[in-house]
Amino acid sequence: MAKEPANRKRRTREHVIADLSINHVERFVFRAGFASQEYQSDYGLDLTISTFDGDGLLEPGVFFFQVKATDHLDRRRRGGFISVVVDERDLRVWLQETHPIILVIFDAQKDKAYSGHVQDHFQEVWTEDGGSIRAFRTMRIPVANRLNDRAMMEIADIKRRIYSPSKG
């Protein structure tokens, strides 16, 4: 058997599960009748999602997904949540974003994903100067927050509430 050249790029397990995680999320996006745009560069967001009403008409606004994949999910059984350390640089931008940002953790071993709304989770600890971010950058996602068809519609409803006309 010939020895493999060392100067070729290698597709790692991390590359594979990253692609699987995006595919997993997009299946729910497409089944809901929504559209997805994937970022090719890593700036703390992976997907932009546009939603459409029952007549197929584009709705105002978007929401974003940041998707993280792992073969070794840190699941706290007693607490019923998954702990995820968020990059402080991402969090500083996310908490100033008006569009909803959803953090998704993909368990590659079980082919399941869990999601949490970043702004809702961190609104208690955010300060304008960002002073408390460093101390509170672990997001706890309940294991009950499975990403599925129902969850996708609930996420779209978060965005719709932001962009719905004021009734006052």
17-55 pLDDT tens trace: 999 999 999 999 999 999 999 998 888 999 999 999 999
Q: Is pLDDT of 167 > 70?
A: no
pLDDT of residue 157: 96
pTM of the model: 0.88
pLDDT bin (cut points 50, 70, 90) of residue 168 is very low
- Mean pLDDT (whole number) for 156-160: 96
pLDDT bin (cut points 50, 70, 90) of residue 92 is confident
Q: Per CATH, is 13-162 categorized as 3.90.480.20?
A: no
Percent of the chain with pLDDT over 70: 84
Apex 133 CA angle, 119 and 146, nearest 5: 40
What are the domain boundaries of the chain? 13-162
The secondary element (H helix, E strand) that includes residue 122 is helix 118-122
User: What span, in angstroms and rounded, lies between the C-alpha atoms of 122 and 127?
Assistant: 10
Return the amino acid letter for 101. I
pLDDT of residue 114: 97
